[in-house]
């Protein structure tokens, strides 16, 4: 992946591998990070795999794809110098496709800014994630998916998108703010 091959230039040869912290790195994203000398670290919510009542499906959503922001603060406190980026995967494919709330994206960006760490979005299922925000996050019921997408991206320092998920049979897009 172009992202990691270029990011490694900023870290050079160091004793410790640079970190890519995430709510759940997609398999190929993790593989590209590791091949380029990075360590991937997933900070899942502690209740990610807890049972969810069947009667609540389609009625509410706990946004279990969220990154654990309290753990993120702890990790960055100890490892900010070796952290390359924080990456949010929307929806969180590694966490069974769970969505990430906009409030979690905002809090994550605030934490990243405190440590001067870029927030990167793996946006391969971002439209699905935006729709879940519209349906289940307080204050977004009357906001269009398009406006929610704009708000999500306003917090990103960069993003990538695999076009083979929706637009073509191969390729991708990477944008940097």
Q: What pLDDT does residue 81 have?
A: 93
Cα angle 26, 27, 33 (rounded to 5 degrees) comes to 90
User: What is the C-alpha to C-alpha distance for residues 160 and 96, in angstroms, rounded to an integer?
Assistant: 20
Q: What pLDDT does residue 140 have?
A: 97
DSSP 8-state assignment for residue 67:
B
Q: Are 89 and 126 in contact (CB under 8 A)?
A: no
User: Could you read off the pLDDT of 12-57 as tens digits, one per residue?
Assistant: 777 789 999 999 999 989 999 999 999 999 999 988 888 888 888 8
User: What is the C-alpha to C-alpha distance for residues 73 and 54, in angstroms, rounded to an integer?
Assistant: 33
In the predicted model, what is the mean pLDDT of the chain? 91
Q: What pLDDT does residue 72 have?
A: 98
User: What is the C-alpha to C-alpha distance for residues 72 and 61, in angstroms, rounded to an integer?
Assistant: 22
57 CB burial (10 A radius; 0-12, 13-18, 19+): exposed
Q: What is the total count of domains within the chain? A: 1
- List the chain residues with pLDDT less than 70: 1, 164-168
Please give the model's pTM, rounded to 2 decimal places: 0.92
Q: Are 110 and 148 in contact (CB under 8 A)?
A: no
Q: What pLDDT does residue 165 have?
A: 65
User: What is the C-alpha to C-alpha distance for residues 7 and 54, in angstroms, rounded to an integer?
Assistant: 43
Which CATH number goes with the domain that contains 141?
A: 3.40.640.10
14 CB burial (10 A radius; 0-12, 13-18, 19+): exposed
User: What is the C-alpha to C-alpha distance for residues 13 and 140, in angstroms, rounded to an integer?
Assistant: 45
Q: Which domain holds residue 36?
A: 2-176
User: What is the C-alpha to C-alpha distance for residues 43 and 70, in angstroms, rounded to an integer?
Assistant: 9
Alpha carbons within 13 A on the beta-carbon side of 23: 31
């Amino acid at each position: 992946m172009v992202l990691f091959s270029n990011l490694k230039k900023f870290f050079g040869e160091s004793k410790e591998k640079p970190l890519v912290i995430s709510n759940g790195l997609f398999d190929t994203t993790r593989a590209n990070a590791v091949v380029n000398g990075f360590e991937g670290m997933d900070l899942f919510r502690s209740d990610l795999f807890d049972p969810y009542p069947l009667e609540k499906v389609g009625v509410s959503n706990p946004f279990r794809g969220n990154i654990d922001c309290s753990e993120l603060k702890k990790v960055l406190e100890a490892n900010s110098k070796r952290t390359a980026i924080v990456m949010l995967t929307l929806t969180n494919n590694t966490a069974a496709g769970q969505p990430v709330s906009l409030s979690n994206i905002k809090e994550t960006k605030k934490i990243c800014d405190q440590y001067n760490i870029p927030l990167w979005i793996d946006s391969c299922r971002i439209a699905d994630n935006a729709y879940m925000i519209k349906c289940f996050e307080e204050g977004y019921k009357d906001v269009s998916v398009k406006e929610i997408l704009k708000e999500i991206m306003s917090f990103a320092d960069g993003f990538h998108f695999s076009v083979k998920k929706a637009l073509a049979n191969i390729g991708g897009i990477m944008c940097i703010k």
